[in-house]
Structure 1
């Protein structure tokens, strides 16, 4: 076992690490900027030269070595080096990085990382990236919701209950008279499609997609939503804590629903008589809730 482990080839990560160390040892860090040359020497300026002097030196050399001015192949190569040196030194950020690399040649990996981040890292506005990401996520979310909704509708349309509702709607539209003669199946499908559009199918867990429920839209409307919630809480505090007003029907329903920990859809699907009975129990009060829970447990034991 130990021999087998010893004979294993080194991992890819280790090989890459060794390669980086080897490259770092073979050439100085500043070589990634202007190869083996010094950027300042290529432009013929000192390291203390200001931006105006660097620009003037570049224009002077470009007139001398530009391929349009000088057809010599070696001149073209030199012009490429001069242009690269100017691109590095004309920008304050990259010049500062280059100066740091000259002063600290031992910090190989740090200098290399700064260089590649500056030249190959994305320079897009992070805000635009965030907006684009939200748009892509919202698009996938919308398509996924439509797929789930269509799949659920397709399954519901195969059930006998749906076909019975469709048949009842057809009888209602025809005044109770059904045409027994079917000309062709295409017409039947067309009539079925028209009738199915009139049936509102509400499927829990696969509701019809809405733009307002997309994560991107909700994030964009977050300030409005937070403001609305804050205003609602302020009105609630003023009405029921300061003025001691009795709860309105809707607010009493909200308190009852939250006390029972029911989803909003489940609450509104409860029979109106049962709903009225629950609201009048004032279950948002601790004693009433404990009494109600004791009644439920007693009823459950009796049914057993």
Structure 2
């Protein structure tokens, strides 16, 4: 078995060797297709192509076989007329054992320069954005279904139904389950608060964010300049929104979480000026004492 392994590898290599040249002009030599030698210059290659094209061009020769040959001739000319692709082809002829390298170089030299990098970038952003939106939609749908199975959600629906009907609908149905149609109508009016899962939005997609990148950068720079002018140059007191931002940033609280805090608690936190290190340390110490007292 040990002796058979190198033999098997060599046999597989022999099977792969033609692939190195076949990617250019199939099984035929590109120079042979044009009837020129490998050391022919660009002028000789061009003259040979024009001569063969007059003979095999579909407009000159309606024979289907001649048409197929013309396509091969045109492909050979495209490879040999370009200095980079011809250089790669000559290397593939001299080093047929480097199958994977020659294949990679062929696609890079022959197709790479024909592809607009901007088109590749846009296509990549569209694909990534599509997957991102599908992932967000799937996660949000799963979260919605999970919330709808909780007793709290069912109680909120029943409370809303009682408010709308004055309790008449519930008395008629007794302890039966809510009608599906009524449940669907009421569920559209119930505001679901799902922690950790955001509703899918086109504005959050990478593709949209990339397009809006210049605007976003300009907006951030404008905000930074205004902030520096107000609070570092003019030494103005912090506005309420800016004080809330500093407090939220100091406590490392997400914007959605901050919105759910009651106004009294917000005002208490802002008044403590937690963006100052000493005030923050005092606040942490108070929270620890309160936690120990409760235990």
Determine if the alignment matches structure 1 residue 39 to structure 2 residue 34. Answer: no
Closer/same/farther in 2, CA of residues 97 and 153 from structure 1, 3 Å limit: closer
* Equivalent position of 1:200 in the other structure: 191
Q: Using the TM superposition, name which of 292-301 and 237-246 deviates more.
A: 292-301
* Equivalent position of 2:145 in the other structure: 154
Taking the aligned partners of 1:77 and 1:162, their CA distance within structure 2 comes to 69
Shift of 1:233: 0.9
> Conserved in 1, the CA contact under 8 Å of 2:55 and 2:61?
yes
SS at match of 1:202: coil
Q: Deviations over 1:187-224 (max 9, x none)?
A: 92111111111111121123321111222222222222
The two structures have a TM-score, normalised by structure 2, of 0.76
- Aligned pairs (5 A) from 1:265-280: 265-280=256-271
- Aligned pairs (5 A) from 1:1-304: 7=2, 10=5, 19-20=12-13, 39=31, 42-44=34-36, 47=39, 49-51=41-43, 53-64=44-55, 82-83=73-74, 85-98=76-89, 105=94, 109=98, 113-115=104-106, 117-118=108-109, 123-178=114-169, 180-181=171-172, 188-304=179-295
Taking the aligned partners of 2:170 and 2:144, their CA distance within structure 1 comes to 27
Taking the aligned partners of 2:102 and 2:140, their CA distance within structure 1 comes to 53
Shift of 1:153: 2.0
> Conserved in 2, the CA contact under 8 Å of 1:43 and 1:85?
no
Could you list the runs of 5+ residues in structure 2 that have no partner in the other structure? none
Q: Using the TM superposition, name which of 281-290 and 88-97 deviates more.
A: 88-97
> Conserved in 2, the CA contact under 8 Å of 1:43 and 1:57?
yes
Larger Rg over CA atoms: 1
Shift of 1:247: 0.3
SS at match of 1:178: helix
Closer/same/farther in 2, CA of residues 15 and 136 from structure 1, 3 Å limit: farther
The two structures have a TM-score, normalised by structure 1, of 0.75
> Conserved in 2, the CA contact under 8 Å of 1:283 and 1:292?
yes
> Conserved in 1, the CA contact under 8 Å of 2:140 and 2:198?
yes
> Conserved in 2, the CA contact under 8 Å of 1:239 and 1:245?
yes
Closer/same/farther in 2, CA of residues 243 and 88 from structure 1, 3 Å limit: same
SS at match of 1:198: coil
Q: Deviations over 1:219-276 (max 9, x none)?
A: 2222222221111111100000000000001111111111112222222222222221
Q: Using the TM superposition, name which of 162-171 and 188-197 deviates more.
A: 162-171
Closer/same/farther in 2, CA of residues 237 and 32 from structure 1, 3 Å limit: closer
> Conserved in 1, the CA contact under 8 Å of 2:244 and 2:270?
yes
